[in-house]
Structure 1
Amino acid sequence: MLPYSIKLTVTEKDLDDLRHVNNVRYLDWIQQISKEHWQYKADESLQKQFVWVVRKHSIIYHSAAKLNDQLLLETEIINSKGPISVRRVIIKDNKAAKLVVTSETDWCLINPVSMKPVRIPDSIKNLF
């Protein structure tokens, strides 16, 4: 399963009272890269047929990112079974090559009309 990555620079709006990246911001970035990866891989037809919702997030904070740090976010699917796909996101300081955050998220594939879980079809599994 091939990883997908983006780079970003920490801005003032990303910081908390301690001048580190706010924990909620990391969660935003995890969701952002996950959504971007899906939109990059899946055509418009698949995106209309299916929607992903979060079942569970697990985040480990290894170090703090600060203002102007350049971060590399990488994501990949590490496992899929039934309607659940487990996605890993790793956030690193791109200059120092220092690990900042690791996360795993269980995403559930649903039908947007019925709002019920759907077994992940091979056409989606094969994308990742």
Structure 2
Amino acid sequence: MDYKKPFQHTVIVSHDDLDDLNHVNNIRYLKWIEDIARAHWKQIASEEIYNSYYWIVRQHLVDYKASAHLHDEVIITTKFLNCNGARAKSIIEMHNNSTGKLLLQAETVWCLMAVQTKRPTRVTEEIDKILV
């Protein structure tokens, strides 16, 4: 199945986001990846699904393309690519809003966990439907 429903969020780079070279710290980019994933899940999941399942990261593959700097507006977009068993893969892109320049592209593999058992669980048909 081809997953095409993107979710978008915007951040403004602050002093707290910067490293010693005065551009966004790599760890901050990872936090933004997790933040957008959490916001995306919260928006698309029903209350029952949200309270029954959560995602954990299995793998991040991050390709840093360009730097973001203080006061830059960064548009973060994510969408699911596919699901297989308990896993789902998403793609995340970050662009500088004023220049359109691609700052980062990442693929993340997530594992669906059941709240009750705290164990991996297959992506249900209902969850599969909300990801598209």
TM-score range, shorter chain: over 0.9
Return the offset for 1:119: 0.6
Structure 1 residue 26 and structure 2 residue 17: aligned? Answer: no
- State the shift of 1:109 in Å: 0.3
- 2:107 is matched with 104
Q: Deviations over 1:82-125 (max 9, x none)?
A: 00000111000011000000011110001122221111011011
CA distance in 1, matches of 2:126, 2:64: 34
TM-score, with normalisation over the residues of structure 1?
0.98
Which residue identity does 1:28 align to in structure 2? K
- Deviation of 1:73 (Å): 0.3
Distance 1:92 1:75 in 2: 12
| Residue 93 (structure 2) pairs with residue 90 (structure 1) | yes
What is the match of residue 113 of structure 1? Answer: 116
Structure 1: stretches of 5+ with no match in the other structure: none
d(CA) in 2 for partners of 1:110 and 1:26? 24
Q: Segments of 4+ in structure 1 off by > 6 A?
A: none
Any idea what SS the aligned residue of 2:16 has?
Answer: helix
- The equivalent residue for 2:20 is 17
After alignment, is 90-99 or 104-113 more displaced? 104-113
Moved more, 107-116 or 118-127: 107-116
Name the % identity. 34
Q: CA separation in 2, counterparts of 1:49 and 1:8?
A: 29
Secondary structure in 2 aligned to 1:126?
helix
For 1:123, the aligned partner's letter is E
2:28 corresponds to 1:4:
no
Deviation at 1:80, TM superposition (A): 0.6
Structure 2 length as normaliser, TM-score?
Answer: 0.95
| Separation in 1, partners of 2:104, 2:76 | 9
Matched residues, number: 128
Mapping of residues 58-77 of structure 1, within 5 Å: 58-77=61-80
